[in-house]
Structure formats: C-alpha cells, structure tokens
Amino acid sequence: MILAIETSCDETAAALFAPARGLAHEWVHSQIALHGRHGGVVPDLATREHLRAIAPLLEQARDASQNFSTLTRVAVTHGPGLAGCLAIGVAAAKSLALALRLPLTGVNHLRGHAFSPFIALHASSPEKFSENLDALLPHLGLIVSGGNTMLFRIERDRRLALLSTTRDDAAGEALDKGAKLLGLGYPGGPLVEKRAATGNAAAFDFPRGIGPRNDLDFSFSGLKTALRYTLEKMTPAEIAARLPDLCASYQQAVIDALVRKTTNALALSSERVASLGLSGGVANNKPLRAGIERLARSQRLPLLMAEPCHTGDNAAMIAFAAWVDPQARSLDDFAALRIEPGLELA
C-alpha cells in the first residue's frame, strides 16, 4: 500500500493505492473558496492552508490504513509547484517515512498527470494491467493545466519523452486571464466554458498561434492580447450583451490550437502511436474533450482521458506514478529528496 501526499499548489491531498487492488482511498481539501476572494491563488495563504489541512488528512489516512500498518511506501509531490506549498508536503512525507521506517519516493507532479489517464485502466483489471498497458504503448499524451501545456510520449519501456511545451502562457492560464479580462471570477476556465455554452464560437476571429507544422510548441500570449484589444473597442454594454460569443470564440481558439498541435504531433511521429491521452485540470473542459475524441476517432486510436476527479491536483495520480513510472525511485537518503521548482518531465 502506497500513501501519497500532494501539496503543489492549492489542493491538499492524500491517497492510498494498492497495486494489487487499485485505489483504496483518496482525500482532497480544496482551497478554491479561499482564493476566489482574491481572484487567484495567493501563495502565502495557500501554504498556510496546507499547514492547517495536512494533519487531518493524514489522520484519515492513518485510520484507513490500520494505523499505517499496511503501508509499504510513502510518495510525495516534490515539484514543480509553489515552493512553500511543496515544502509542507515534503516535510510531512519525510517525517512520516522516517517514523515508520518506510521507503520514500519523490514524484514529479507533471509525471503524475502524464500517467493519470491509466488509473482507470488499472481499476478495470488490476491483474492484467501490465499487459493492457503494453498494448497501448507508445502513447501520445497532452497535459493541459493552469500552469503547463505540453505534448509527450510514453515509450514502450514506459519512459517519458517531452515533445513540446508552451513558450509563454499555459492554456489554463490563458483561460483564467481571459476570464479576468471579461470580468468573470475565479477559477476562470470553468466560468468561460459555462458562458460559452450559449455563444457563437465563430463570432470573433481570435488568433490560434499555431505556427509551422513542425513546430509543436504552444503559445497563448497573443490570444490574450487580442482579447484585450477587442474589449478595448467595445462599450461595457456591448461586452455584456456579447459575453457568450466572446467566451465561446476565445475558448475555441484555445481548443483549436491544442487539437491542431496534437494532430501535427501524430503526423510527425516517426513511429505510429498506439493510443492518445488527455490529462490536467483543463481536461475537464467538455468542448476540449469532444475535440480530442474526434481526433482519436479520425486516427482510429484508443483514447484515454483522466477521470474528472483526477484531472486537477490529486494524490491518487502521485501514488499511481510512484508505482508505474520506472523513473520514480525510492530514496534511502531522505535529505536527497529536494523540492523541484522546474519542469522535469523527461
């Protein structure tokens, strides 16, 4: 049984995962209400809230694991993320592993997202998971979150290779910033999606930032600037009247860029992939899911999408990655586990 802890940003989470059976328990303490009053995540407040919430979550994990007696390993997110937030989880994991004399595994948050679409595959048949996974490799994955947007491959040996990332804003960040320009609240992405449901996605011609076919990197800063210039030419009354169209057009520009880049990655692949994946917080966006589903059907590829409860920051994906990722290693020297502030997907 693996106990995982996740505190990379504004969710305090813990999970228990048994490789032979699957996900046993998971808990998430959300900070959305706290940060919503400020229009975004405030690092100092997030760190303080993690400090308050971590002990009650670990008490629940203790009760669910027979006073920790069933644990064989402790795993924790050690980056990327907010340094203060990560420090709370890393300190708790080190202390617990030391007290229980258990191996400690540091997991990169993005690698957790990369493997999260396979959690449901494991749940459907734990005993045949390895065989089923091998049939789906190589795998092309798209991570879309508030802080990161990237394409990657999982090779036949389960190792990850980064294909592209964003040159500026991540897709989720672009949606949140667009929502702020439009006068919506936090978190912005879901609010843009809600307003877009009744809008015309072709009403405004926003840039896609796609670039040459062989350039797989993403860019969303130009889209955000285009929205700002558009709004500056409109009166408050016009913006209010056309808010659904603005949201729909802006959101569609993000989705088109994501789908087109993924399409290009498939075309440029030297070896045909066996499956396609979607993960990260923005993977909950229904029009995006529909766009990736259409792409998978057109390419006749199996599509694996992270379950809605595992798209955002969660400890289940950290526990799962600690087990399935061949590059996740247990550390004998706990001092060697340090916070990773940067991107280390590959």
Cα separations (Å) of 190 from 22, 118, 217, 245, 321?
30, 24, 24, 15, 27
Residue at 342 is within a domain: no
Query: Is 253 within a domain?
Result: yes
- Give the domain extent around 63: 2-125+309-336
In a domain, 198, yes or no: yes
Pair (295, 318) in one structural domain = no
The answer to whether residues 144 and 273 belong to one domain is yes
Helices (H), the chain: 32-36, 43-64, 83-100, 109-115, 119-124, 129-134, 171-181, 188-196, 221-232, 236-241, 243-268, 286-298, 316-324
User: Is the whole-model pTM more than 0.95?
Assistant: no
In whole angstroms, give the CA distance from residue 108 to residue 341: 10
Task: Name residue 283's amino acid.
Answer: A
The DSSP code for 218 is: B
In a domain, 344, yes or no: no
The position carrying tokens 């809230």 is 49
Q: What are phi and psi of 117, to 5 degrees?
A: -65, -15
pLDDT confidence of residue 345: 44
Residues 211 and 324 in one domain: no
Residue 334 has what pLDDT? 53
Tell whether 217 is covered by a domain. Answer: yes
Instruction: Say if residue 28 is in the same domain as residue 76.
Output: yes
Contact of 237 with 253, CB cutoff 8 Å: no
286 and 222 assigned to the same domain? yes
Burial class of residue 346 (count of CB atoms within 10 Å of its CB; 0-12, 13-18, 19+): middle
Calpha distance 271→149 (Å, rounded): 23
Classify residue 313: in a domain, yes or no. yes
Instruction: For residues 186 and 58, state if they share a domain.
Output: no
42 and 160 housed in the same domain: no
Look at strands 303-305 and 275-279 and give their pairing: parallel
Residue type, 191: L
Which residue do the tokens 């499956």 mark? Answer: 275
Considering only CA atoms, which of 3, 113, 112, 123 is closest in space to residue 57?
A: 3
Same domain, 289 and 313: no
What pLDDT does 186 receive?
Answer: 82
For residue 33, give both structure tokens: 């209400």
Question: How much is the pLDDT for 147?
Answer: 85
The pLDDT assigned to 331 comes to 62
Q: What is the CATH number of the domain that holds 160?
A: 3.30.420.40
Looking at residue 343, its pLDDT comes to: 45
The answer on 96 and 22 residing in a single domain is yes
From CA 261, how far away is CA 208, in angstroms rounded?
A: 10
Centroid of chain to Cα 178: 19
pLDDT for 346: 40
Number of domains in the chain: 2
- 178 and 283 in a single domain? The answer is yes
- From CA 246, how far away is CA 211, in angstroms rounded? 23
Q: What's the average pLDDT block by block, 10 residues per block, for the chain (346 residues)? A: 94 96 93 80 89 95 94 93 92 94 92 96 95 96 92 93 91 94 90 97 91 87 95 96 98 97 93 96 95 97 96 95 85 53 46
The span from the CA of 83 to the CA of 81, in Å, is 6
Q: Is 330 exposed, middle or buried (0-12, 13-18, 19+ CB in 10 A)?
A: middle
Q: Is residue 341 part of a domain?
A: no
Asked if 17 and 64 touch (Cβ cutoff 8 Å), the reply is no
Is 346 within the bounds of a domain?
A: no
d(CA 148, CA 247): 21
Q: What is the pLDDT of residue 56?
A: 95
Same domain, 292 and 263: yes
In a shared domain, residues 297 and 313:
no
Total count of residues recorded for the chain: 346
Give the pLDDT of residue 335: 53
Q: What is the DSSP letter of 66?
A: T
CB 9 within 8 Å of CB 313: yes
